[in-house]
Structure 1
Amino acid sequence: MSNWVKTILFLIGSALLTHWIPSSFFRNLDTMVHEFGHAVVTLALSGQVQRIELYANHSGVTLSAISGARSWSIIPVALAGYMTASLFAWFLFSVFAKGKQQIGFIVMIVISAISLLLFVRNGFGIMFLIGFIALTIIIMAIPLKWLRNFYYLLLAFLCLEESVFGPIYLIQAAARNTRQAGDATNLALHTGVPAMVWAILFTLFALWCAKQAVQAFLGRSKRPRSASRQSPLSSYRD
């Protein structure tokens, strides 16, 4: 079975499993990372982040200002959201595969804390971040490895699922109305490339990241092997 087939089956299974678990609250983690990506790239390109708003329906928005002389900056800013979310899901599974969940937890808490202190200003967003940070710290402190692993994998699977299905929903939005396809619409307005094309590219990138995440989780990441045997006459490498 090819890695791509495994990835698709893995995503379908993740969607089914996570929808059976009361997980609506935690789905906002992917939204937060998405908007955080927009904010960081905006600041990196000398723009101003006015605020981020997170909503109970798992949507969000980043309000920012970019100088007219640097209007091209809108392109990398618009690209950053979905790409950051996809890379973040891959990161969570990569550190889990290495047995370093603690690093994953710390990164989640740091991003949440920065978002809370600097960017998020609406009521629901603030309450979500406070609750998420507090709960994650409590879980980290509980000396039950199975519980920590369950909580970590719940977050990782939700981020993986949302990072892929988000761009897929974007394709549907672009098919209905190209002016209501979020980041794909912004990219279309500033590049001339249709919103549908951008939505498809976001989806392909998300699937590629998901493939890497699944390979890491299943322990199938390619690693160099250098085992050798010595004999009186020759040596060889497997």
Structure 2
Amino acid sequence: MSNWVKTILFLIGSALLTHWIPSSFFRNIDTMVHEFGHAVVTLALSGKVMYIELYQDHSGVTYSSITKQWAIIPVALAGYITASLFAWFLFSAYSKGKQRLGLQVMIVLSALSLILFVRNGFGIMFLVGFIALTIIVLALTPKWLRDFYYLLLAFLCLEESVFGPFSLVIYAWGNARQAGDATNLALHTGIPAIVWATLFTLFALWCAKQAVQAFLGRNKRARSSSRQSPTPSYRD
């Protein structure tokens, strides 16, 4: 079975499984990472981030001021690209047995977003709740529960990082002015919004393929190790 087929099956499977689990609260992690990407690139290009708002329907918006017109392009690109790379990072960390590091990175990003950017009521409550819960999971729960929690977050981020830009393709097809970042890019480059939405989706799928390969690679190594017989010992 090709890696692309495995990726598509994993995405469909994760979408089905995570919709059976009460996971709506955690879907805002992908939104937070997306908006954090916009904010960091804005600051890197000497722009000003006024604030970020995260909403209960898993959408978000970054309000910023950019003096250089060309800078709008990398800022608009940053959101979906950051979210896709972050999903890949989570599975890469898992493949190396570094789930604690992945959770710590999520806490740091959430804390920075809370302190520096997010100002609306729901966004603040979400970040405070997520940070507190994740610290509790890191400090007090057994390894099996911590790993389950980590994989739940990782698969949610993977799913959202792909289906987010895919939905952008649908929006761009129906109304190019309602395609979010793709619309902004179209206005400043002349390239149609549906083209940008398709590029976001293809990049997200490529990152998802890398993530799935990392996940399967770790599980394959674990199965191989468990099949190995113990080293014989000699006792006089």
Shared fold, TM over 0.5: yes
Question: Contact 2:49 / 2:64 at 8 angstroms: preserved in 1?
Answer: yes
User: How big is the alpha-carbon RMSD for the aligned residues of Structure 1 and Structure 2?
Assistant: 1.0
**Contact map agreement 2:91 2:214 (CA 8 A) in 1:** yes
1:72 counterpart residue number: 70
CA-to-aligned-CA distance 1:25-56 (integer Å, 9 cap, x gap): 00000000000000000000000000000000
C-alpha distance in structure 2 between counterparts of 1:115 and 1:34, whole Å? 11
Runs of 5+ consecutive residues of structure 2 not aligned to the other structure: 220-236
1:38 aligned to 2:34? no
Aligned partners of 2:218 and 2:145: how far apart in 1?
A: 25
Task: State how many pairs are aligned.
Answer: 219
Partner of 1:128: 126
Equivalent residue runs for 1:62-101 within 5 Å: 62-67=62-67, 70-101=68-99
Distance 1:220-1:140 versus aligned 2 partners, 3 A rule: closer
Take 1:8 and 1:202, find their aligned partners in 2: how far apart are those partners? 16
- Superposed, which structure 2 residues align to 1:1-238 within 5 Å? 1-67=1-67, 70-219=68-217
**Identical aligned residues as a percent:** 81
For residue 6 of structure 1, what is the amino acid of its counterpart?
K
Residue type at the aligned position of 1:215: Q
**1:220 Cα deviation (Å)?**
7.1
- Report the more deviating stretch, 142-151 or 56-65: 142-151
Give the TM-score normalised by structure 2.
Answer: 0.92
Q: TM-score, normalised by structure 1?
A: 0.91
The amino acid across from 1:111 in the alignment is: L
Unaligned stretches of 5+ in structure 1? 222-238
Alpha-carbon distance between aligned partners in 2 of 1:4 and 1:142, rounded to the nearest angstrom: 38
Give the distance between the partners of 2:108 and 2:26, measured in 1 at CA.
16
